[in-house]
Amino acid sequence: MPRSLFASAGRGFISPRRRLSPLPCYIAIFEYNGLVSQIGTFKAEFFKALAHPLRIQIIDALRDGEFGVNELCERLHVEQSTVSQQLAVLRSRNIVVGRKEGLNVYYSVRDTTVFKLLDVAKQIFNNQLIGVKDMLKEMAQTPGRRR
């Protein structure tokens, strides 16, 4: 086994003459793969939570601060039951949090970094539109093309 694998298993430098069981190495690799799998699962679930246009609209509306369900309904022109259902999904993924005040619950984004993620997604979308626009322009300028 390479020395680096033993070092990653917390053994430090191992003399090439000294033979140890490869078990610690396999445990370290298994633990690393498990962590990678957990991160992958987290990312997939996180993006699933964002995979609905209304949820993205709700998050965008929460850029301006916390709002109650009724305020979100007015801003987004959507029924209360629909907004509540989508907020439940966002809450279950810890993307939004609710603060109870009397009978009202006010929602806000838990980690504002999600706004940067949505901004990057918007930039990617714009870049793709520019690419399509350029391609269509090129196709229109190419003589002899059938339309």
Write out the DSSP string of 82-147. Answer: HHHHHHHHHHHTTSEEEEEETTEEEEEES-THHHHHHHHHHHHHHHHHHHHHHHHHHHHHSTT---
DSSP 22: S
Per-residue pLDDT of the chain (147 residues; tens, 9 = 90+): 444 443 444 444 444 555 555 555 555 555 666 666 888 888 889 999 999 999 999 999 999 999 999 999 999 999 999 999 999 999 999 999 999 999 999 999 999 999 999 999 999 998 888 888 888 888 888 776 555
Whole-angstrom Cα distance, residue 136 to residue 127? 14
Domain spans of the chain? 3-11+20-49, 53-109, 112-147
CATH of 53-109, one of 3.40.50.1820, 1.10.10.10, 1.10.1740.10, 3.20.20.480: 1.10.10.10
Whole-angstrom Cα distance, residue 11 to residue 24? 9
